[in-house]
Amino acid sequence: MTSPVQLIPASRHVDSRGWFTEVYSERNFTANGRACRFVQDNHSLSVAPFTLRGLHFQVPPHSQAKLVRCVRGRIYDVAVDMRSGSPTYGHWVAAELTAENGSQMFVPAGFAHGFLTLESDCEIMYKVSDFYAPDCDAGIRWDSVPIAWPLPDGALPELSPKDAALPALENFHSPFVYDGHPLEPLG
């Protein structure tokens, strides 16, 4: 059984000019058990180090899967299981995504997603499986799950007012249904 959240390493073809990588192929994506159609690409810039965006998701009927990559800088990318009835509800996995390593994280619908920038001027690009729907936009507070955020001792992350006001996980009633695939550590 494959974990629903997956770390996808980059396959780079290197020569004297640099490298080439196929960032996304629907054929390869589905061949590896990730049945998902993406409809929108998003691109964000976070200027200050230790900026935290998240933990975000969209609820049904416009829940979103995401395919996340860092194209400049380094981020600590996190997914939290939000599926009601899941034995791993509230558990999280994380990976460092960098422009250098080219890895991507696949975060299916039913998981909260967020990231912490680890240096200045980080750019993140991600595909989503449904369009932005303001009425379905939701999230939970970054500190309501015991995530080991790699913050300097005593530091708090840079947050948007919206993210600072998100409810705690314990106050969220999940509309997501467990599909029988528990969250597993990233490989």
The catalytic residues are 56, 126
Q: Domains plus CATH for the chain?
A: 6-171 (2.60.120.10)
The predicted-structure confidence for 38-76, as pLDDT tens digits, reads as follows 999 999 999 999 999 999 999 999 999 999 999 999 999
Q: Could you tell me the CA-to-CA distances from 114 to 3, 11, 54, 56, 135 in Å, in that order?
A: 18, 24, 4, 6, 19
pTM tops 0.85, yes or no: yes
Furthest-apart CA atoms within the chain: distance in Å:
54
The predicted-structure confidence for 110-143, as pLDDT tens digits, reads as follows 999 999 999 999 999 999 999 999 999 999 999 9
